[in-house]
Structure 1
């Protein structure tokens, strides 16, 4: 008895994929809440001189929400059932699939994650300056963030899109951005992978960033009197550095497991979770909570 073509293409979404997709939805909802808080404070500050001092970082907070949202959406490309759908829709366009995976890696490790990490660092540094001209963060924040992530972005472009004789001699794990395999249901699937060279570049960025974060957190703890702010900054610093360490380990381990194995799925989920927790804590402690406190003091 032949299986119906429509039923042949049906495959249940794995639990790991469903968990990842659920976290992505949660991140987007949290970003919408953060955006609402930012705009609410922005409107309130127009008629309140007291709130203007708390609103002078609204551009950086908006930038943080933007990077987190874009990073979350970009992670959808790594879900295996998305790769399966692409093969069903465009079975012969393997180069297109490869290009999509390259852009995913470039945006994830070269733009969005470095972007929200650098924005977190700027917000921490500026949190100890009580008298910031309102126009200064608005004028320079995007430029400063761009300049700080530019080296990583350029190196990722070179690794992902420029082919040199030296790179051609390297093992496939060093430059591979996609993997085509057949799952236990007999379905062909494409998974986007992080090439080891891209992971090394990001880990270099993470080391430099962690040093800067340590200095920034130490300055805040040393200069700020408010105990709640000290605790908040300490928690944020620990979460970000632990998340970066876990991500670095998972990026290195990704090549050891094939994606159809349980180990490969757990590595991908662990890597995704480490960054997602960092993003959630950053939005809560640097966007939602400070704005809520500012509005409460205004009552």
Structure 2
């Protein structure tokens, strides 16, 4: 079934719109990450720096997604018409298609998922040598490029030797869909997906999927929060389903020609699968951790104000209670001790109230610096120290 010009343009315009949304989401998350960093430095929330430790790798993940999106734009045939951006001679258009395969299948997508793996591995590392280390971001970035290099070289090798295989008459029919990166039609070179490049990409996706399952199992053993468990499940399921699905769709695309509806539908579905995967990963790995950390900082400020207000109210209540007890002692000295016992002291009620909220103090103090100094000579406390009841002299 030949593809009409209207259908081709519709797929192209829809691809550009979806990539623009992905870029907008990525830029907003980058700005959010920078705002989080400035908030930590301006307010002195030192312990929240643990959650902002991999901020460079998070931004790198977004940049890889944007790179991949631009590559998908230059693939579409809508830009190759007369008077369009990529209109030119056939040889130049074929070179663009080769660059697209090497750039996306050989660099952007492997780096995208390798970055995802390192971000998921970060909580399993020791704090001193992990994301709290100043060199973690640099070492991780170097490892991502180093691990991606073999796949990039292999994809480049397959693209470069493809034209050489076409000169061999016995291998001409076989290499047509195994190594071809473009098909010429109506003075336009339409990009295709070489089967050898797709197979190599599929091998990488298989190993990555198994490793993510193993990594996710380790993470789930350490996570006790149900919300974080849902996020880990969402990440693992998304990557393990969308990434292999993209490889399968690209593999089936060799069964049809670029000017047919089946090929364009398969190519667009493969693009949509990875777009959804990248969007989910950006939300789960960049936006949600930053939003949670900012919520902890705001919660800390509210809790600190509430503690100060409670201390002032307790002091006023204590003074009023002492005055009342002194007046009672002047009127009926013999009943003073009974009244004190029956009423119970304000210090007991204060201690009870503070004791009921102690869990919140300790939990928040794990993410925020303590605002109370420990008494001289006492060992440092993990969290905000409990306040002892005010001395009572009325008994």
**TM norm. shorter chain > 0.5:** yes
Report the CA distance between 1:197 and its aligned residue. Answer: 0.8
Who is 1:193 aligned against? 192
Structure-2 change in CA distance of 1:151 and 1:21 (3 Å): same
Alignment TM-score, normalising by the size of structure 1: 0.88
CA distance in 2, matches of 1:84, 1:241: 37
Q: Does residue 31 of structure 2 align to residue 36 of structure 1?
A: yes
Task: Give the root-mean-square deviation of aligned CA atoms.
Answer: 2.0
Report the CA distance between 1:121 and its aligned residue. Answer: 0.8
CA distance in 1, matches of 2:67, 2:259: 27
Who is 2:179 aligned against? 175
Spell out, residue by residue over 1:32-77, the C-alpha distance to the aligned partner (whole angstroms, 9 max, x if none).
Answer: 1111111111222223213211111111101101100110111111
CA distance in 2, matches of 1:58, 1:29: 18
Q: Does residue 92 of structure 2 align to residue 96 of structure 1?
A: yes
Structure-2 change in CA distance of 1:138 and 1:89 (3 Å): closer
Alignment length (residue pairs): 283
Report the CA distance between 1:82 and its aligned residue. Answer: 1.1
CA distance in 1, matches of 2:51, 2:296: 11
Structure-2 change in CA distance of 1:106 and 1:85 (3 Å): farther
Report the CA distance between 1:18 and its aligned residue. Answer: 2.0
For 1:23, which of 18, 33, 40 is the aligned residue? 18
Structure-2 change in CA distance of 1:54 and 1:45 (3 Å): same
Give SS of 1:44's match: helix
Who is 1:56 aligned against? 53
CA distance in 2, matches of 1:21, 1:90: 17
Spell out, residue by residue over 1:236-262, the C-alpha distance to the aligned partner (whole angstroms, 9 max, x if none).
Answer: 111111112211211111111222222
Tell which structure's C-alpha radius of gyration is larger.
Answer: 2
Alignment of 1:107-256 (within 5 A): 107-129=103-125, 131=127, 132=130, 133-162=132-161, 168=168, 169=171, 170-182=174-186, 188-256=187-255
Spell out, residue by residue over 1:249-290, the C-alpha distance to the aligned partner (whole angstroms, 9 max, x if none).
Answer: 111111112222221111011110011011000100000111
**1:179, 1:192 within 8 Å by CA — same for their partners in 2?**
yes
Structure-2 change in CA distance of 1:90 and 1:189 (3 Å): closer
Structure-2 change in CA distance of 1:151 and 1:221 (3 Å): same
Alignment TM-score, normalising by the size of structure 2: 0.68
Structure 1: tracts of 5 or more residues without a match = 1-10, 183-187
Who is 1:268 aligned against? 267
Spell out, residue by residue over 1:208-229, the C-alpha distance to the aligned partner (whole angstroms, 9 max, x if none).
Answer: 1111111111111111212211
Give SS of 1:142's match: helix
Alignment of 1:65-104 (within 5 A): 65-85=62-82, 91=88, 93-104=89-100
Structure 2: tracts of 5 or more residues without a match = 299-395
**1:77, 1:192 within 8 Å by CA — same for their partners in 2?**
no
Structure 1 runs of 4+ aligned residues shifted over 4 Å read: 85-91, 163-168
Higher relative contact order (CA 8 A, sep 6+): 1
